[in-house]
Amino acid sequence: MSAKFLSFLTLLLLLALPAHASPLAQSDTPPFILPFADPPSPSTWLLGQTYGNTTGAYVNRINFYQAGQGLHFGMDFSAPCGTPIVAVGDGVVTYVDNLGFGSAPHNLMIDHPNGYASFYGHLLETPNLQAGQAVQQGQTIALSGDPDETCTSRPHLHLEIRNAAAYNLAYNPAPLIHADWDSLALIGSFGTGFSRDLSNPRQWQFLADQPDVQFWGPMLNDYANPWPPEWTR
State the minimum distance, in angstroms, from the CB of residue 157 to Zn ion: 8
CB of 91 to Zn ion, least distance (A): 21
Query: Of 147 and 226, which CB lies nearer to Zn ion in the complex structure?
Result: 147
Are 143 and 124 within 8 A, CB to CB?
yes
Using CB under 5 A as the binding rule, the residues of this chain from 64 to 123 that contact Zn ion are 74, 76
Closest residue to Zn ion, based on beta-carbon distance: 158
Instruction: State which residue, 72 or 207, has the beta carbon closest to Zn ion.
Output: 72
Task: Give dist(CA 69, CA 103) in Å, integer.
Answer: 17
Contacts to Zn ion from residues 165-224, by CB under 5 A: none
Binding pattern for the stretch 137-166 against Zn ion, x by CB under 5 A and - elsewhere = ---------------------x--------
Q: Where are the beta strands (DSSP E) in the chain?
A: 46-49, 75-78, 84-86, 91-96, 108-111, 116-121, 134-135, 140-143, 156-163, 170-171, 196-197, 226-227
Q: Exposed/middle/buried for 171, CB within 10 Å: 0-12, 13-18, 19+?
A: buried
Size of the site for Zn ion (CB under 5 A): 3
**Binding footprint of Zn ion on the chain (CB under 5 A):** 74, 76, 158
